[in-house]
Amino acid sequence: MAAPGDAGGAGAGPGPGPGRPPAGDLRSVLITSVLNLERLELDLFRGRHHWVPATQRLFGGQIVGQALVAAARAVSRDEQVHSLHCYFVRAGDPKVPVLYEVERTRTGKSFSVRSVKAIQHGKPIFTCQASFQLSQCSPVQHQFTMPAVPPPEKLLTQEELIQKFLQNPNLAERYRKHLNKIQAEDVPIDIKPVNPPDIFCSEPQEPKQLFWVRARGYIGETDMKVHCCVAAYISDYAFLGTALLPHRQYHIKFMVSLDHSMWFHAPFRADHWMLYECESPWAGGCRGLVQGRLWRRDGVLAVTCAQEGVIRVEQMPNQSKL
């Protein structure tokens, strides 16, 4: 890909890894479909939907990823995204495409800002500002230390864990239907939870979770903006759910993202395993705050994320999941 959403040749590689797909491997659907926008005018794009959650609202990660694709199409190849800040202002309609309108807010010598408005039915459903930077070196560098966890090769995928739960003869039928629905979803992400929660336990848990994530299929060594767009899609999956772990006794009536921010620190491959470290420092007032860090396998902090969302629960807690 020459640029996000464009077909073409490869650019400089964003990190270690093979330059060609393994034999028989398929190019990631995140590149060929989900994040592949149709250009209507110079700074106007149309995006379609790949996966729609059971809530029948558009997946927030898809909107963030597509908006970043649109913004990236309006900067030079040498500029790389370093941050984005987004607000979800209306529920998205999965029945119609989304229009992305880009405003070239500022183009400077080192930094450029692009504003993106996502529109459906003539109204904005989402706004985003993305900032891009030309590469600059600095001796001022530090980062946190990556958590020590088992490698992804020693863990089960989300699909394998669900299959184990479904084999339990004591699983209530409504939870069996729910797990079957999750299993049938065509989510273009590979996920391996490090400490998967016990679905049969409603005891409060610490608001932290760790899982290995990567895009399904092959993306390869290309413009780093492509991998950032894919990471934007991945970052929203199961993110806000971290705030629910201390409150598992309650039945969730409504949960939706309000805003989403990302900061990109170092090159990475979104089709390679990355550790997603998520935690929720606070919840209250029908809102929950979550923070996340995406780590490369070699311990380099690649991306930092933050999100706040609406969380409404039923007043009477559930007594049992069996």
Name the active-site residue from 236, 261, 271, 280. Answer: 236
Name the active-site residue from 257, 261, 271, 280. Answer: 257
114 DSSP β-pair partners? 130
Dihedral of the alpha carbons of 105, 306, 66, 56, in degrees to the nearest 10: -130
212 DSSP β-pair partners? 192, 275
For the beta carbon of residue 59, count every other beta carbon within 10 angstroms.
22
Identify whether 257 is a catalytic site residue: yes
Identify whether 135 is a catalytic site residue: no
Question: Which residue in 235, 246, 241, 245 sits closest to 268, CA to CA?
Answer: 235
Judge contact between 138 and 104, C-beta under 8 A.
no
Amino acid identity at 136: Q
d(CA 270, CA 262): 15
For the beta carbon of residue 56, count every other beta carbon within 10 angstroms.
11
Q: Which secondary-structure segment (H or E) carries 224?
A: helix 224-235
Q: Which secondary-structure segment (H or E) carries 159?
A: helix 158-166
Quick one: tokens of 160? 């394998």
Identify whether 315 is a catalytic site residue: no
Catalytic (active-site) positions: 236, 257, 307
